[in-house]
């Protein structure tokens, strides 16, 4: 007997052969995919739970390889000129563990609602290093709704020492932080949170900027990059962070060991042709956010990277100040940006861009053998998309129609490890109203602690 049997769906497997099965079934046992095939099932048909998949497309859960914890509370704040400085002030000096727990649940709810089953998260805009209890609260909130998470802290941007503090009983206690504090809390976080919760919760090591840090000397920049790399190698976890034009060449020259298949770098905008080649040779992954402000300022050469054999994935960089965790929109934005740049509508075909948030993204996490496609033996992280809607009908070309027209709002069911964590838009492990109420309360309290007025914080984009 199967634990779960989904019958009658169009199965978009996302395997490397591009297999699409119409009127098919997927069977799940003990959290893994037991069988995939065309209807009717040839053998066992009994299951503890049966799901009618007719009118649905079944895909692997989407994987968002670059997000920021904290940002779910600060979206709409694009009118703040010194946005990054304000975010650091709020995250480092105005928050409590309750803030980070509530924000993580709000972010997890949005991702699940849009069909993202796995995400990579920097805790904070620049990684949080001042309070282990707040970091723990993020992990507890992120895992509470059932999704798979890779989260972490590490070396923040800017000069040392950092000024941060902790609110307790209405009083603020400030302290000074050094790189040694960052190393200690990063290693503690990895030891505590990597590969727990039956493998759904994992830690990563963060480097805010893989490249020369303006506020540091060259020697200091290299030292903190190497220090974070040593922790990631010691524990066998992903090294993740940001990089921009010149950063890749800097790393290749001063710390080449900091580039490799277990490294993923967000943005990579403004990089040179030589840096494209360096990334391709190293095996590192580029996580590009097509709807980010970074991509407005300079271009990430996605097509050139792919032509050189580099791995590139689309990510949301969610979700502030002006975006969401809806990966579906970033497929279309990314595809359109690079087609427009080259005046070539053949670039980045639908199957490729969908691979960039499924099987390619799983490979970026070192989990291609376990995630990213609907194949027997893999972990049952699955989504069902309601395709019986005008904008998706008639559903003759599943991959093309999903990429061209689907949105997160079309996701009907989300399954992680064989567990149904959302059905019909309703979360199985938490009430949406309570999540929203808790979020509103905690962010309002953070603004009050910092002396911020909402009218100074939110407003028209571009004002």
Mean pLDDT for the stretch of residues 261-270: 98
What is the reported pLDDT for 165?
86
168/103: higher pLDDT: 103
Q: Is the pTM of this model over 0.85?
A: yes
What is the reported pLDDT for 77?
67
Contact 6, 412 (CB under 8 A): no
Task: For residue 463, name the pLDDT band (cuts at 50, 70, 90).
Answer: very low
Q: Which domains does the chain have, with CATH numbers?
A: 2-60+372-427 (2.30.40.10), 63-364 (3.20.20.140)
Mean pLDDT for the stretch of residues 113-126: 96
Per-residue pLDDT tens for 4-60?
999 999 999 999 999 999 999 999 999 999 999 998 877 778 999 999 999 999 999
Q: How many CB atoms lie within 10 A of CB 446?
A: 23
DSSP summary character for residue 349: -
Paired with 62 in beta bridges are 116
pLDDT score of 266 more than 80: yes
Task: For residue 202, name the pLDDT band (cuts at 50, 70, 90).
Answer: very high
Contact 69, 103 (CB under 8 A): yes
pLDDT score of 169 more than 90: no
Q: Which residues contact 219 (CB under 8 A, 6 or more apart)?
A: none
Per-residue pLDDT tens for 292-315?
888 888 999 999 999 999 999 999
pLDDT score of 111 more than 90: yes
Q: How many CB atoms lie within 10 A of CB 361?
A: 30
Mean pLDDT for the stretch of residues 390-403: 96
Contact 154, 127 (CB under 8 A): yes
Contact 13, 21 (CB under 8 A): yes
Paired with 441 in beta bridges are none
């Amino acid at each position: 007997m199967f634990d779960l049997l989904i019958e009658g769906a169009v199965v978009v497997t996302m395997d490397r052969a591009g297999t699409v099965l119409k009127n098919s079934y997927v069977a799940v046992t003990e959290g893994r995919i037991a069988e995939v095939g065309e209807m009717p099932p040839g053998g066992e048909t009994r299951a503890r739970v049966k799901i009618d998949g007719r009118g649905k497309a079944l895909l692997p859960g989407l994987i968002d390889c670059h997000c920021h914890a904290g940002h779910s509370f600060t979206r709409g704040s694009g009118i703040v000129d010194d946005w990054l400085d304000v975010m650091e002030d709020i995250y480092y000096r105005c928050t409590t563990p309750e803030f980070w727990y509530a924000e993580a649940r709000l972010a997890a709810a949005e991702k699940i609602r849009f069909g993202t089953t796995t995400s990579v998260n920097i805790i904070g805009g620049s990684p949080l290093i001042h309070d282990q209890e707040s970091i723990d609260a993020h992990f507890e909130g992120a895992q509470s709704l059932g999704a798979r998470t890779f989260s972490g802290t590490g070396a923040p941007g800017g000069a040392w020492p950092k000024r941060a503090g902790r609110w307790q009983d209405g009083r603020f206690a400030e302290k000074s932080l050094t790189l040694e504090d960052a190393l200690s809390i990063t290693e503690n976080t990895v030891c505590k949170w990597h590969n727990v919760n039956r493998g759904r919760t994992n830690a990563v090591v963060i480097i805010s900027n893989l490249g020369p840090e303006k506020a540091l000397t060259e020697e200091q920049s290299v030292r903190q990059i190497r220090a974070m790399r040593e922790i990631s190698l010691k524990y066998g976890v992903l090294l993740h962070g940001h990089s921009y034009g010149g950063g890749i060449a800097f790393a290749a020259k001063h710390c080449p060991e900091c580039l490799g298949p277990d490294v993923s770098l967000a943005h990579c905008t403004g990089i040179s042709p030589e840096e494209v080649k360096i990334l391709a040779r190293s095996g590192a992954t580029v996580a590009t956010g097509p709807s980010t402000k970074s991509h407005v300022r300079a271009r990430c050469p996605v097509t050139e990277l792919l032509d050189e054999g580099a791995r590139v994935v689309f990510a949301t960089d969610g979700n502030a100040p002006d975006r969401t965790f809806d990966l579906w929109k970033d497929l279309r934005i990314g595809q359109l940006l690079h087609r427009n740049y080259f005046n070539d509508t053949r670039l980045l075909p639908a199957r490729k861009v969908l691979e960039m948030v499924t099987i390619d993204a799983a490979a970026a996490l070192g989990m291609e053998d376990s995630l990213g496609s609907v194949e027997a033996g893999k972990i049952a992280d699955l989504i069902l998309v309601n395709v019986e809607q005008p904008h998706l009908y008639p559903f003759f070309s599943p991959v093309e129609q999903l990429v061209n027209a689907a949105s997160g709002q079309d996701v009907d069911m989300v399954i992680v490890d064989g567990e149904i964590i959302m059905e019909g838009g309703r979360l199985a492990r938490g009430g949406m109203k309570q999540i929203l109420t808790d979020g509103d309360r905690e962010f309002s309290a953070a603004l009050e602690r910092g002396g911020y007025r909402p009218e100074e914080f939110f407003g028209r984009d571009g004002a």
